[in-house]
Amino acid sequence: MEIRRVRAIYDARARSYDRTVGFGERLLLGAFRRAFGAELRGNILEVAIGSGLNLPFYPPSVDRVVGIDLSRRMLVEASSRANHLRCPVVLAQMEADRLAFPDGSFDTVAISLALCTVPDPAATLREMARVCRPGGRVVLLEHVRSPVWPIAALQRLLTPLQERALGCHLTRETVETVRNAGFAIETDRQRVFGVFRLVVARPPLDTRGAMQM
Ligand X SMILES: C[S@@+](CC[C@H](N)C(=O)[O-])C[C@H]1O[C@@H](n2cnc3c(N)ncnc32)[C@H](O)[C@@H]1O
Please identify, using beta-carbon distances, which residue of 54 and 146 lies nearer to ligand X.
54
Toward ligand X, which CB reaches closer, 49 or 210?
49
Decide whether 35 or 49 has the Cβ nearer to ligand X.
49
Sequence-ordered list of residues with C-beta below 8 angstroms from that of 135, at least 6 positions apart, any chain: 202
Closest CA to 99 of 77, 140, 127: 127
Q: How far is the CB of 209 from ligand X (least distance, A)?
A: 24
State the DSSP code for 195: T
In the complex, what is the shortest distance from the CB of residue 84 to ligand X, in angstroms, rounded to a whole number?
16
Residue number with CB closer to ligand X (74 or 210): 74
Residue nearest to ligand X (CB): 50
d(CA 16, CA 212): 40
Q: How far is the CB of 202 from ligand X (least distance, A)?
A: 22
Residues that bind ligand X (CB under 6 A): 3, 6, 10, 48-50, 53-54, 69-71, 74, 95-96, 112-114, 117-118, 166
Contact predicate 168/112, CB 8 Å: no
Helix pair angle (3-29, 72-82), 10° resolution: 40
Quote the least distance from Cβ 42 to ligand X, whole Å. Answer: 20
Cβ closest to ligand X, residue 62 vs residue 134 = 62
Give the span between the Cα atoms of 68 and 205, in whole angstroms: 24
Nearest distance from residue 136's CB to ligand X, in Å?
19
